[in-house]
């Protein structure tokens, strides 16, 4: 059982202050070339965070990087000058959370979608 004083800190029945988990600002960066898997993973992550009543900002959609390669069709250089154009689109999303690192470990333990890379950055927050 805990009691809350006017200063907003928690105390137990003996009057000793209960230590609280340190709140961190956590930024999760998701990268993928498959937009469907990326959006599904983003929505799952945000829903799990909202179920735990965390402060969630995002997903923030960053500009798509387009990698282009233009190559000749003919392997030997003979014949008409025809070209093939290939491109790979890389999509990126940012999600910001304010919580303790233990809760984030539980939230991010969901199964990863194939082709989605996850990068977690933790900074101490106020």
DSSP state of 17: B
Residue 57 scores a pLDDT above 60: yes
- 95: how many CB neighbours lie within 10 A of its CB? 20
Higher pLDDT, 62 or 10: 62
Residue 40 scores a pLDDT above 90: yes
Phi, then psi, of 31 in degrees rounded to 5: -130, 135
- Exposed, middle or buried: residue 87 (CB in 10 Å: 0-12, 13-18, 19+)? exposed
Considering 79-88, 93-102, 112-121, the range whose residues carry the highest mean pLDDT is: 79-88
Nearest CA among 44, 5, 37 for reference residue 114 = 37
CA-CA distance, 10 to 4, in Å (whole number)?
Answer: 5
> For all residues of the chain together, what is the average pLDDT?
83
- 20: how many CB neighbours lie within 10 A of its CB? 9
**β-bridge mates for residue 86, sequence order:** 69
Q: Stretch 85-110: mean pLDDT, rounded?
A: 87
CA-CA distance, 99 to 25, in Å (whole number)?
Answer: 7
Residue 50 scores a pLDDT above 70: yes
Q: Stretch 72-98: mean pLDDT, rounded?
A: 91
CA-CA distance, 84 to 61, in Å (whole number)?
Answer: 30
Nearest CA among 57, 55, 48 for reference residue 111 = 48
The 3-state DSSP class for residue 4 equals strand
Higher pLDDT, 23 or 31: 31
Residue 107 scores a pLDDT above 60: yes
């Amino acid at each position: 059982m805990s009691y809350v004083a006017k200063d907003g800190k928690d105390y137990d029945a003996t009057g000793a202050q209960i230590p609280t988990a340190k709140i961190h600002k956590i930024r999760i960066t998701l990268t993928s070339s498959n937009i469907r898997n990326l959006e599904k993973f983003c929505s799952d992550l945000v829903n799990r965070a909202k179920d735990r009543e965390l402060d969630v900002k995002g997903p923030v959609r960053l500009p798509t990087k387009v990698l282009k390669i233009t190559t000749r069709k003919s392997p030997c250089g003979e014949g008409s000058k025809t070209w093939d154009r290939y491109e790979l689109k890389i999509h990126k999303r940012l999600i910001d959370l304010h919580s303790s690192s233990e809760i984030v470990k539980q939230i991010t333990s969901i199964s990863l979608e194939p082709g989605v890379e996850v990068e977690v950055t933790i900074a101490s927050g106020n």
